[in-house]
Amino acid sequence: MKPDLRERRLKQLASFVRIFLATLREIFDEAAYARFLQRTQTTSSPQAYAAFRREHEHRHARRPRCC
């Protein structure tokens, strides 16, 4: 395999892994928590997570889920 082709493949693989992890982080609300910490200028703590859950509860619990 040519070096530039291998490099391109590696880049594609890295991009796939990055998007896969981002998808998981989004589905599992980790990304939302990170955004919350950034928006409120706080660091992660039980209190910050409790505040995040309170804010999220309203929206998250109303999210419909199919059969």
Binding residues (CB under 8 A) for another protein: these are: 19, 22-30, 32-36, 39, 44-46, 48-50, 52-53, 55, 57-67
Q: How far is the CB of 7 from another protein (least distance, A)?
A: 19
Q: Which of 26, 47, 27, 23 minimizes the C-alpha distance to 37?
A: 47
Q: How far is the CB of 26 from another protein (least distance, A)?
A: 5
- 44 neighbors 37 (Cβ within 8 angstroms): yes
- Residue closer to another protein by CB (options 3, 36) is 36
- 43 neighbors 37 (Cβ within 8 angstroms): yes
